[in-house]
Homo-oligomer: A and B are copies of this chain.
Amino acid sequence: MASTDKPTDPEYNKGAPPPSATVNCFVLDVTLRVLLFAAALTAVVVVVTSDQTKFIVPFGFLEAKFKHSPAFVYFVVALSVAGLYSIITTLASLAVIWKPNLSTKFLLHFAFWDALILGLVASATGTAGGVAYIGSKGNNHVGWVKICNNYDKFCHHIAGSLAVSLFASVVLVLLVWLSVYSLHGRIPK
């Protein structure tokens, strides 16, 4: 392992690039985090407003609710965590733009946490996607009927939300890449 960190050392960050490069990197960082927040918020709102009630012969009024599936509940929780995380890290990233001498330390922490949240959002997208696929196509082998022919609004909401959360996963990959690339750029050539 490489040498240990000394964040309290006054010489810390001596090898950082000029402040303008740091600020440019963090402006892109803030932009991506705002996009992540927008995506997470959209995904959560679209799923939460997906509930649909329909009159189906011969059963009467039936409901499709996201709460009926643990997969969609997990999806909403994971995307909410990602949304909250994006708010906190946007503020942290803005703080670095105002005080660039902390940037190396922040890049390390951002990369650590972004990788964790990427795992969370990607798994939630997969979980909801797997269940949504059964809802859309059914599975004849085990007798699971499709429900999207009856609950069109519900399924459109879920599909839209899945697309947005896929976008959020891509943004998180880009955030990890940005932190790694910026750290790499600080190593003397």
Tell me the A residues contacting B by CB distance below 8 Å: 1-6, 9, 11-12, 14-17, 21-22, 24-25, 28, 64-65, 68-71, 104, 107-108, 111-112, 115-116, 118-120, 122-131, 133-135, 139, 141-145, 147, 169, 172-173, 176-177, 179-189
A169 to B1, CA, bound (A): 22
Number of copies of this chain that the complex holds: 2
Question: Quick one: which of B116, B176, B182 contacts A2, CB cutoff 8 A?
Answer: B182
Task: Name which residue of chain B comes closest to A103, CB basis.
Answer: B2
Main secondary structure, interface of A, reads helix
A69 contacts which chain B residues (CB < 8 A)? Answer: 139, 141
Q: Given A125-B126, A126-B124, A180-B179 in contact, is the A145-B143 Cβ separation under 8 Å?
A: yes
A104 contacts which chain B residues (CB < 8 A)? Answer: 184, 187
A2 to B123, CA, bound (A): 32
